[in-house]
Amino acid sequence: MLLSGSTTQLEQKVEAVKSVAETKVQLLQGDSSQAKSELARLSKELHSVALARDQWQRDCEKWKAQADMYQEKTGKSLEEMQNMETRRMALEGMCSDQDEIMERLRRETAIAVEQKRLAEELASRRGDENVELKRKVESLEALVVEKETQMKEGEEIRKRLHNTIMELKGNIRVFCRVRPVGDGECGTAPKTATPLVEYPSQGDQKDRAIKVLAPSGSSGMSSEFQPFEFTFDRVFPAQSTQEDVFDEISQLVQSALDGYKVCIFAYGQTGSGKTYTMLGNNENNGVIPRVMQQVFQTSNELREQGWNFRMRASILEVYNEEYKDLLGKHLAANEKHKVHHDAHGNTTVSGLTTVDVSKPENAAELLRRAMEKRAVGATKMNDNSSRSHMVFTLKLDGSNEGTQQHVQGVLNLIDLAGSERVKASGSQGDRLKEAQNINKSLSALGDVIMALGTKNEHVPYRNSKLTWLLQNSLSGASKVLMFVNISPAQESANESLCSLRFAAKVNACEIGVARRTVKTDPKDSQPTRSPRSR
């Protein structure tokens, strides 16, 4: 468009010059020479103008060609260019919105950065406070540990003092152990969720008191349950381990090595855990295997101090008022084991197999053999009930060549047969006879203990084979410990109450102060000292 405009202008200009020239030719016709030269000049001028116009035309074509080439190369028409311009402007609008968003985000980021800085500052201040709190907690923890240690030490001292008082008074010590609730048993009072057995634990009663809910009334048949509370030297709740129990009696084992007669027996209703306590099972050794282990260990340690111990074990049962050797052959029908007590308080049983035990493995084997031979049967409360009293006797003869001292200790470890109410058990035949004999001998045991406790001149040892056998171990010269085993089952509540009442009476008995059996060679003038005090 631009080029065509310029061309038109040039043509108009040519026309104008041409008309002026013609006018001038006419005016100057008179003066031909002047006119000729003027014409020549004008022709020349016309010629140069024509040349200039041609040049313009060529330039125009050239520019047009270049414009065509540009359109061809970009492929974009003007319209498209305008569209693009519109889009550019729209994009610029969006861009400016975006700038605003960016600005807002920048401001928010700055706020967040500031908040982060404040939070870090706070955290660092809190960190200091935390360090201080941690230090306080640590010092409080240390204080708690110290107080707990002091409490434990205090408890140990209390126990030792209690034991010493009991020894001085000559009491039979009683430990109560409750077994866990068995499968299918109920450990709560009827119609309530109150546990049948509880362990009050305030002050001096800690680990010593037990409360049982049992049928009220003397018949024991009432459906009303009421609480009865007892205190013993130690109460082991159901969750106590065999180790917990043994820890408490290990001092007595030491006493046997010092030359005392020690008698530990487990008393309780059938199925209450006597055999578990005294013998244990394959996974959890009970008192007897642990006693053997400790005796071997301590006697080995005493060897360094010149002591040599000879250990002899025997195991018998009292079944239907007869002694039976659990390590040897049964006697012929016309033969019977006889118990003899000498003037020095030693007891021997005729025809009884006595085995030298020098290693714990030997003792374990003996126990296994004995348990295979022991009389067992099924009762209402226990499928594998011991129907006899089992007496494990370990005689310890210690001598010290250096000091010329001899000590003689005896350990009688007894798993009594379970007490059972004959009427309630519905036993008949052999089971009835067994139950009657068991109850008779248990009641004889109670009578002996009561007679010893009341300092009766006559102690009825002869009333049962069990008391006759144990007379030297039950008298005041011995240290006696009784376990009363309790079942926490609802159906056993009445039996549990009977056992606890019996145990409380036994616990109150003062049978006399235990004496050591120790001899010193006359040549030796040193005062007698026990193996452990050396």
Ligand X SMILES: Nc1ncnc2c1ncn2[C@@H]1O[C@H](COP(=O)(O)OP(=O)(O)OP(=O)(O)O)[C@@H](O)[C@H]1O
Nearer to ligand X, 393 or 496 (CB): 496
By CB under 6 A, residue 418 contacts ligand X: yes
Nearer to ligand X, 146 or 244 (CB): 244
Site mask, ligand X, residues 348-387, x = CB under 6 A? -------------------------------x--x--xx-
How far apart (Å, rounded) are the C-alpha atoms in residues 306 and 309? 10
Q: Which of residues 311-340 bind ligand X (CB under 6 A)?
A: none
Estimate the crossing angle of helix 465-474 against helix 429-453, to 10 degrees: 30
# of chain residues touching ligand X (CB under 6 A):
18
Strands 234-236 and 518-520: unpaired
| Residues paired with residue 178 on neighbouring β-strands, in sequence order | 486
Token representation of residue 492: 């056993």
271 is in an annotated binding site: yes
Comparing every residue's Cβ against ligand X, the nearest one is: 418
8 is in an annotated binding site: no
Q: Cβ(504)–Cβ(233) under 8 Å?
A: no
Going from the C-alpha of 469 to that of each of 293, 321, 441, 479, 515, the distances in angstroms are 25, 11, 12, 16, 19
Site mask, ligand X, residues 437-476, x = CB under 6 A? ----------------------------------------
268 is in an annotated binding site: yes
Nearer to ligand X, 254 or 419 (CB): 419
Nearer to ligand X, 215 or 271 (CB): 271
Burial of 398 (0-12, 13-18, 19+ CB in 10 A): buried
**Residue from 234, 261, 274, 479 in contact with ligand X (CB under 6 A):** 274
**Residue from 285, 399, 485, 499 in contact with ligand X (CB under 6 A):** 485
275 is in an annotated binding site: yes
How far apart (Å, rounded) are the C-alpha atoms in residues 290 and 282? 13
Q: Cβ(530)–Cβ(258) under 8 Å?
A: yes
Q: What one-character DSSP code corresponds to residue 172? A: P
Q: Which of residues 152-191 bind ligand X (CB under 6 A)?
A: 179-180
How far apart (Å, rounded) are the C-alpha atoms in residues 287 and 373? 20
Stretch that binds ligand X, among 57-65, 270-278, 305-313, 404-412 (CB under 6 A): 270-278
In the complex, what is the shortest distance from the CB of residue 318 to ligand X, in angstroms, rounded to a whole number?
14
Stretch that binds ligand X, among 79-87, 143-151, 271-279, 335-343 (CB under 6 A): 271-279
Q: Cβ(305)–Cβ(416) under 8 Å?
A: no
Nearer to ligand X, 380 or 532 (CB): 380
**C-alpha 387: how far from its chain's center?**
38
Stretch that binds ligand X, among 118-126, 147-155, 273-281, 355-363 (CB under 6 A): 273-281
Site mask, ligand X, residues 4-33, x = CB under 6 A? ------------------------------
- Phi and psi dihedrals of 498, rounded to 5? -60, -45
In the complex, what is the shortest distance from the CB of residue 404 to ligand X, in angstroms, rounded to a whole number?
44
Nearer to ligand X, 185 or 510 (CB): 185
Q: Write the DSSP string, 230-285.
A: EE-SEEE-TT--HHHHHHHHHHHHHHHHTTBEEEEEEEEBTTSSHHHHHTB-SSSB
**Residue from 273, 289, 453, 531 in contact with ligand X (CB under 6 A):** 273
Q: Cβ(507)–Cβ(174) under 8 Å?
A: yes
**Residue from 175, 232, 276, 323 in contact with ligand X (CB under 6 A):** 276
Summary count for the chain: helices (H), strands (E): 11, 17
Token representation of residue 209: 């008191």
In the complex, what is the shortest distance from the CB of residue 168 to ligand X, in angstroms, rounded to a whole number?
31
Stretch that binds ligand X, among 1-9, 116-124, 264-272, 295-303 (CB under 6 A): 264-272
Sign of CA dihedral 223, 229, 234, 240: positive
**Residue from 187, 215, 259, 268 in contact with ligand X (CB under 6 A):** 268
Nearer to ligand X, 275 or 437 (CB): 275
In the complex, what is the shortest distance from the CB of residue 485 to ligand X, in angstroms, rounded to a whole number?
6
| Residues paired with residue 485 on neighbouring β-strands, in sequence order | 177, 268
**Residue from 271, 289, 453, 488 in contact with ligand X (CB under 6 A):** 271
Q: Write the DSSP string, 281-343.
A: -SSSB-HHHHHHHHHHHHHHHHHTTTEEEEEEEEEEEEETTEEEESSSPPPPTT----EEE-T
- Phi and psi dihedrals of 130, rounded to 5? -60, -45
In the complex, what is the shortest distance from the CB of residue 434 to ligand X, in angstroms, rounded to a whole number?
11
In the complex, what is the shortest distance from the CB of residue 276 to ligand X, in angstroms, rounded to a whole number?
3
Instruction: State which H helix or E strand residue 189 sits in.
Output: none
399 is in an annotated binding site: no
**Residue from 171, 254, 255, 272 in contact with ligand X (CB under 6 A):** 272
Q: Write the DSSP string, 394-427.
A: EEEEEEETTTTEEEEEEEEEEEPPPB--HHHHT-
Token representation of residue 237: 């709740």
Nearer to ligand X, 178 or 357 (CB): 178
Nearer to ligand X, 233 or 317 (CB): 317
Residue ranges for the known binding site for ATP are 268-275
- Contact residues: ligand X, CB under 6 A: 179-180, 268, 270-276, 281, 379, 382, 385-386, 417-418, 485
Residue ranges for the known binding site are 268-275
